[in-house]
């Protein structure tokens, strides 16, 4: 199939908004949620993050598996 | 062609006791399995595993490795009485694999169902750890479980996918046409990792947890010198008709969309290979080093070199596969089934996002979502990739606990796109899929727990009072033993003996007609 790479349509033009929507939630709304209040995410992570990161990381030792 | 086929996911979980890095992980994993099994009223030791049909050393290329030359970790069919193992009422297997608790999902027939029953495994592990922590003081162990694939210190453990394929498809063709796909698939479904190199010697972030642990193109090994294409040929089904492709290169996913794409796009590419419909040779020069390089290019700008000399970006390789599948579906005409349609829609959408607006893929793709959080952290606290804080976030991302796991905290706040509602996942903890032999296996465990002495993927063994010998029901056809075939028979049988007599009377070939 030589030349197939030339036939790829201008996908960048038909952005994700033109695609059929399999679900009600719009990706842009989800992204906005992720962007706008990501600092509150960090604040929340701060409250649960292991207090001594260095020790926590050092203590997470696994044996290899498959 | 359809995305539907018999498939499943095996997930090994990281295990640790805070403040006690020396705790024996095999014993701990055994405790995890026992804690869950005993709470469910399932005998973890008694409802054992039937190893009769296991052959982990059989190679898809046509030979068998001598047991003397196999690494002990490859001898997975040797029963060790200290190894906890239980078949769950949803048809899954919960057991100790090497030094990790593993949940092997029941056989399902769609990517969406694979997402559902793998997430059910998260609930199983969460509950198991909670039960173990809450045992009376002397017996309780403060164990934590993690759905990830590396400790960042050189150890990796797997999340394996299984796909039932037609035996007649030449394995060499599978190797040639699937390898390029596996080199770049991580871009859609990698889970993200802080640290470069097996032991994280180089600071940085990469797309996939597993990629650095792959050192060979093709091989039988799973624990060392891991190959991109694993040749374990252990079909757990009629061997003349089927092979089970055992895929070891994927990451453990939390995002539904990434998980759906991992299973769905792979199934479609396998379908194309089976049909002989791969029309473009995408063979990549140096697949192993390229796999590592692709994982490190979070900007998705670098190219990979094809054997033809052409250089294209990983996303373009994925587009090439997508287009072949789409064109083939179009040529066939008709409307694709809804599972196929769902995977194609997400495949196109996620590739578009990765190509035009990567960060907008955060709700769908694990590595992008994790990177967004880590980048904000870096900005806010002026951290470098060497900071233990970032490595801690990477590990804690996959903590199975709702209150501690960073993914779960963010998911609860609606930051990831959920395809399968939580109620369906909860139901899948106890109920098997209805359209495979997992239905018969799971329902038997549920209805006749005292009569099932052992089970495996392709058999259930019963001990019933009116028979001196154990009764073994073979299930070599994965699509038999469905609810449609045996649901009424199971529901109407007061005990296992009655069920077996009726099953014998109704027997159609494979045992669980």
- Same domain? For B188 and B306 the reply is yes
Q: Same domain, yes or no, for B397 and B472?
A: no
B405 and B368 part of one domain: yes
pLDDT in tens, B140-178: 889 999 999 999 999 999 999 999 999 999 999 999 999
Here the tokens at position B189 are 């479904």
Domain boundary among the residues B358, B387, B416 is at: B416
Catalytic residues of B: 97
Residue B473 host element (H or E)? strand B471-474
B287 domain-assigned: yes
Residue B359 domain-assigned (yes or no)? yes
Smallest CA–CA distance from A48 into chain B, residue = B404
Query: pLDDT tens, B467-507?
Result: 888 999 999 999 999 999 999 999 999 999 999 999 987 66
Is residue B327 included in any domain, yes or no? yes
For the record, the structure tokens of B460 come out as 């259930």
Whether residues B99 and A11 touch (CB distance < 8 A) is answered with no
Report the pLDDT averaged over residues B182-201. 98
CA distance B443 to chain A (A): 29
Whole-number pLDDT of residue B116:
98
Contact A8 B380 (CB under 8 A): no
Q: Does A32 touch chain B (CB under 8 A)?
A: no
Q: Are residues B193 and B335 in the same domain?
A: yes
Q: B392 and B265, same structural domain?
A: yes
Higher pLDDT, B97 or B11: B11
Residue B162 forms part of a structural domain: no
pLDDT profile of chain A (66 residues), mean per 10: 39 43 52 62 80 90 86
Q: In 10 A of CB B1, how many CB atoms? A: 17
User: Could you tell me if B411 and B449 lie in one domain?
Assistant: no
With respect to residue B385, please indicate whether it lies within any of the assigned structural domains: yes
Instruction: Note whether residue B395 is domain-resident.
Output: yes
Q: pLDDT tens digit string along B111-146?
A: 999 999 999 999 999 999 999 999 887 778 899 999
One domain for residues B196 and B344: yes
One domain for residues B446 and B409: no
The answer to whether residues B339 and B297 belong to one domain is yes
**Average pLDDT, whole number, for chain B?**
91
Domain that holds residue B408: 169-209+253-416
B134 has a chain A CB within 8 A of its CB: no
Pair B337, B450 in one domain:
no
Beta strands B159-166 and B7-12: pairing type? antiparallel
Domain count across chain B: 2
Q: Report chain B residues whose CB lies below 8 A from the CB of A38.
A: 372-373, 376
Contact status, residue B57 vs residue B70, Cβ threshold 8 Å: yes
Distance of CA B170 to the CA centre of its chain: 24
Residue B108 maps to a domain: no
Distance CA B486, CA B472 (A): 16
């Amino acid at each position: 199939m030589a030349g197939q790479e030339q036939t790829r349509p201008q996908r960048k033009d038909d952005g994700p908004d033109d695609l059929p929507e399999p679900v009600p939630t719009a990706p842009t709304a989800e992204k906005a949620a992720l962007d706008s209040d990501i600092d509150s995410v960090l604040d929340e992570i701060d409250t649960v993050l292991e207090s001594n990161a260095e020790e926590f990381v050092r203590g997470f030792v696994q044996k290899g598996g498959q | 062609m359809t995305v539907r086929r018999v498939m499943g996911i095996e997930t090994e979980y990281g295990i640790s006791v805070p403040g006690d890095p020396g705790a024996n992980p095999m014993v701990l994993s055994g405790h995890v399995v026992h804690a869950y099994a005993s709470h469910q009223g399932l005998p973890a030791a008694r409802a054992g595993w039937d190893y009769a049909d296991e052959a982990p050393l059989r190679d898809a290329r046509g030979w068998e490795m001598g047991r003397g030359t196999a690494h002990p970790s490859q001898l997975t069919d040797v029963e060790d009485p200290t190894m906890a193992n239980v078949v769950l009422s949803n048809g899954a297997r919960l057991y100790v694999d090497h030094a990790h608790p593993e949940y092997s999902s029941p056989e399902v027939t769609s990517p969406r169902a694979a997402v559902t029953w793998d997430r059910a495994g998260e609930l199983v592990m969460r509950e198991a750890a909670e039960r173990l922590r809450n045992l009376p003081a002397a017996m309780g162990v403060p164990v934590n479980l993690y759905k990830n694939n590396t400790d960042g210190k050189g150890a990796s453990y797997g999340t394996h996918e299984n796909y039932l394929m037609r035996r007649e498809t030449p394995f060499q063709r599978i190797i040639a046409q699937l390898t390029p796909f596996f080199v770049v698939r991580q871009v859609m479904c990698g889970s993200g990792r802080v640290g470069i190199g097996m032991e994280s010697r180089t600071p940085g972030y990469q797309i996939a947890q597993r990629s650095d642990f792959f050192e060979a193109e093709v091989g039988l090994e799973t624990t060392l010198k891991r190959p991109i294409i694993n040749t374990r040929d252990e079909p757990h089904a009629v061997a003349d008709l089927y092979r089970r492709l055992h895929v070891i290169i994927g990451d453990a996913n939390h995002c539904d969309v990434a998980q759906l794409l991992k299973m769905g796009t792979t199934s479609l590419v396998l379908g194309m290979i089976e049909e002989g419909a791969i029309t473009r040779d995408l063979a990549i020069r140096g697949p192993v080093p390229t796999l590592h390089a692709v994982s490190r290019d979070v900007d998705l700008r670098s190219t990979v070199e094809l054997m033809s000399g052409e250089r294209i970006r990983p996303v373009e390789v994925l587009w090439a596969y997508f287009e072949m599948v789409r064109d083939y579906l179009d040529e066939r005409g008709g409307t694709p089934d809804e599972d196929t349609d769902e995977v194609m829609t997400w495949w196109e959408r996620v590739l578009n996002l990765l190509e035009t607006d990567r960060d907008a893929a955060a709700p769908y793709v694990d590595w992008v979502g994790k990177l967004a959080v880590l980048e904000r952290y870096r900005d806010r606290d002026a951290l470098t990739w060497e900071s233990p804080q970032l490595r801690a976030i990477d590990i804690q991302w996959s903590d199975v606990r709702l209150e501690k796991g960073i993914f779960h905290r963010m998911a609860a706040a609606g930051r990831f796109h959920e395809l399968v509602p939580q109620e369906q996942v909860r139901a899948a903890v106890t109920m098997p899929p209805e359209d495979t032999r997992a239905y018969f296996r799971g329902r038997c465990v549920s209805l006749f727990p005292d009569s099932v002495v052992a089970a495996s993927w392709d058999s259930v063994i019963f001990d019933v009072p009116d028979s001196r010998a154990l009764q073994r029901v073979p299930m070599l056809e994965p699509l038999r033993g469905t609810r449609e075939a045996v649901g009424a028979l199971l529901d109407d049988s007061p005990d296992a003996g009655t069920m077996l007599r009726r099953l014998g009377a109704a027997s159609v070939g494979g045992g669980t007609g």
